[in-house]
Amino acid sequence: MPGMQTTTKPPEMRQAIVTLDGVTKRFPGIIANDRVDLVIRAGEVHVLLGENGAGKSTLIGMLSGLQQPDEGRILIDGKAMPIRSPSHALSLGIGTVFQHNMLVPSLTVAENLALGGKWWQKPRLGELAARVDEIARPLGININLDAVVSDLSLGEQQQVEIVRALLRNSRLLILDEATSMLTPQGIAELGALMRRLVERGLAVVFITHKLGEAAEFGDRVSVLKLGRKVGEIGPDRLRSLEHDELVDEIVSKMFGRNAGDGAISIPDRPANDEALLAVRDLRVLPGKDTSGLEAISFMVGRGEILGVAGIDGNGQKQLAEALAGQRRTDGGSVTLAGRSLDGLDVGKRRELGLRYLTDDRLGEGTVGTFPVSINYFLKQIGEPPFWRSGIEHSREINTHARDLTRQFDVRTPSLSTPVGRLSGGNIQKVLIARELAEGARAVIFNKPTYGLDLANTQATRQRIRDVAGQGLAVLLISTDLEELLSMCHRIAVMSQGRLVGTIANGAGAGERVGRLMIGLAA
């Protein structure tokens, strides 16, 4: 608990080192940060809490000079100051320890710390040792300068990175997902270290998606959700709340309703609601850096929307890919309307009516440099009537593409515009048009509204409801609990490659799913 407050100034009087003022950042097809305001003060551990995709990394990218905001200002010591580059950020006193280790494993600690000096000077290792000692000793960090980095534990490597940031006279230290690879012991040590750093007047920004750490280490907690800042809990309130109350409050901010969220509307089930998509004991072995799947079983009926909730990266993508035939499975069976899909490839499964709308619209969903018209038919290359005897029939393609563009309200300058030039909402409409093409029986939507603006989010959600209304089975994977609550009949929760529970949507379902998502009992 942040009980060891030694700074005498009241919290809101502490000096603001960095202020974000209405900062917005867009990427092709995605709004990563939407008018975020943030004040980072000296002497505070400021926790940025949010799920993957909430916009934390982009925010750090802008603070560390890797990216420039599209709108809004960044103020340093109260003066507007664009952070032009990572080295500029360092010279402004902003040091960042990234999630993934940035040390050279084959060099010694001393050599790593000396990197980035003037290239024409020989590193003065003696001087360095004295400075490291001066910085590390009061913080209780023990650093062996002669050790080769690859021999150090991850926690030790992180300490080296923190020292490296402090060597550059950082006033603001950003720790990006710093605990993700640490042992519980290492996490506790890092917490204590952060406390000592802020006692010495530094500001620390601590990024995490783990609630417990936020409550334990933070002086101030800002909650990000889908690129927007949805709440901030100041030091006074943080101290006055009991741990459980605090967790409840943060949960409600992370998963709670926002103004402007669509109304709840769950489509009626058709009279004939037999099971369409059935999955039994699906299993995928974990890969080098992907999680696996273990004993996944569920059923989706005609006209049913089954939601899959969970913190991002718990196997949702693997599940979608395994169902679509894109990923090899290591056991289990999938049937669609009584027909087994086992052993069939992507094309066959699509033909039988299983459709997969990917969450990675530009990365795998489309070929960005190809025209919109071709992207509609990317999964039908070679099929009549668009290709006959292997020869492309442009007129057929363009006629159908024009129909789809009108039907799905895709706003594009022309059919020959490269699809990568469209906005995210319009790319999504192209994908939806493609997956819903005739013959669809079950559709997997993977994070269908991720990165879309409000209007397109609403339109997409309505489209999904319509799909279910037509009697198709829908599997809706989303990290946005509110979205699932607003349209699903049932919600399954995924955690570490398993389904840890399925909850019928209704009163109180949000709380129960939310607790399952963060690893508590429902």
Partner 1 sequence: MSGDATSASATPLDASGGGGSARDIGRRLLITLGPIVVSLVLAGCVLLVLGINPLAYYGYVVDRGLLSPLGLQQTLTRMAPLLFLAAGLIVAFRAGMWNLGGDGQFLLGAVTAAASAPLLVQVLPGWLTLVAAFVIATVVAMIWSLIPALLRAYQGVNEIITTLMMSFLGVSLANVLVKLVFLDPATTVPQTRTLPVEDRLPRLFETTVTSGLLFGLVTIIAVHLMMTRTAFGLKLRVVGANPRAAVHAGLNVPLLTVTVFALSAGLIGMGGAVDIVGIQGNVRADWNPAYGLAVIPVVFLARMNGFAAIGFVFLLSVLSIGGESAARRLGVPQNFTMVLVSIVLITLAVAEYLDHRFNQARRA
Nearer to partner 1, 77 or 383 (CB): 383
By CB under 8 A, residue 91 contacts partner 1: no
The stretch among 232-240, 275-283, 355-363, 487-495 that binds partner 1 (CB under 8 A) is: 355-363
* Residue 79 neighbours by CB under 8 Å, 6+ apart: none
Specify whether the CB–CB gap between 15 and 41 falls below 8 A. Answer: yes
Q: How far apart are the first and last CA of the chain?
A: 26
Specify whether the CB–CB gap between 337 and 345 falls below 8 A. Answer: no
- Residues numbered 374 to 433 that lie near partner 1 (CB under 8 A) are 374, 378-379, 381-382, 387, 390-392, 411-414, 417, 421-423, 425-426
Q: What does DSSP assign to residue 150?
A: G
Q: Which amino acid, residue 509? A: A
CA distance 66 to 57: 11
What track of x and - describes contact with partner 1 for positions 314 through 343 (by CB under 8 A)? -----------xx-----------------
The β-bridge relationship of strands 203-208 and 220-225 is unpaired
Which of 297, 370, 396, 496 is close enough to bind partner 1 by CB under 8 A? 370
Neighbours of 26 (CB within 10 A): 19
Q: By three-state DSSP, how is residue 16 classified?
A: strand
CA distance 323 to 350: 11
CA distance 358 to 350: 14
Question: What phi and psi values does residue 299 have, to the nearest 5 degrees?
Answer: -135, 145
By CB under 8 A, residue 236 contacts partner 1: no
Neighbours of 281 (CB within 10 A): 12
CA distance 379 to 346: 9
Nearer to partner 1, 44 or 359 (CB): 359
Nearer to partner 1, 381 or 520 (CB): 381
Nearer to partner 1, 98 or 370 (CB): 370
Element spanning 399, H or E = helix 394-407
Shortest distance in whole angstroms from residue 321 CB to partner 1: 9
CA distance 130 to 173: 22
Shortest distance in whole angstroms from residue 272 CB to partner 1: 30
The stretch among 141-149, 206-214, 289-297, 352-360 that binds partner 1 (CB under 8 A) is: 352-360
Shortest distance in whole angstroms from residue 423 CB to partner 1: 5
CA distance 180 to 460: 33
Shortest distance in whole angstroms from residue 346 CB to partner 1: 3
Shortest distance in whole angstroms from residue 76 CB to partner 1: 24
Shortest distance in whole angstroms from residue 409 CB to partner 1: 10
For residues 45-84, b (16+ Cβ closer than 10 Å) or e, as one string? bbbbbbbebbbbbbbbbbbbbbbebeebebebeeeeeebe
Shortest distance in whole angstroms from residue 345 CB to partner 1: 6
Nearer to partner 1, 58 or 170 (CB): 58
- What CA–CA distances, in Å, run from 354 to 19, 159, 428, 473? 48, 49, 18, 9
The stretch among 102-110, 193-201, 450-458, 485-493 that binds partner 1 (CB under 8 A) is: 450-458
Nearer to partner 1, 364 or 403 (CB): 364
Q: Hey, what are 125's tokens?
A: 């290792």
Specify whether the CB–CB gap between 465 and 262 falls below 8 A. Answer: no
Q: Which amino acid, residue 327? A: R
Nearer to partner 1, 205 or 427 (CB): 427
What track of x and - describes contact with partner 1 for positions 18 through 37 (by CB under 8 A)? -------------x------
By CB under 8 A, residue 345 contacts partner 1: yes
Shortest distance in whole angstroms from residue 512 CB to partner 1: 30
Specify whether the CB–CB gap between 505 and 264 falls below 8 A. Answer: no
CA distance 399 to 258: 41
CA distance 446 to 441: 16
Which of 222, 329, 358, 373 is close enough to bind partner 1 by CB under 8 A? 358
Nearer to partner 1, 255 or 377 (CB): 377
Shortest distance in whole angstroms from residue 350 CB to partner 1: 7
Which of 270, 286, 313, 368 is close enough to bind partner 1 by CB under 8 A? 368
By CB under 8 A, residue 245 contacts partner 1: no
Q: How many residues bind partner 1 (CB under 8 A)?
A: 42
Which of 46, 350, 447, 515 is close enough to bind partner 1 by CB under 8 A? 350
Instruction: Give the bridge partners for 174, in sequence order.
Output: 96, 205
Nearer to partner 1, 116 or 384 (CB): 384
What track of x and - describes contact with partner 1 for positions 114 through 153 (by CB under 8 A)? ----------------------------------------
- Interface with partner 1 (CB under 8 A): 31, 325-326, 345-347, 350, 356, 358, 360, 363-370, 374, 378-379, 381-382, 387, 390-392, 411-414, 417, 421-423, 425-426, 453-457
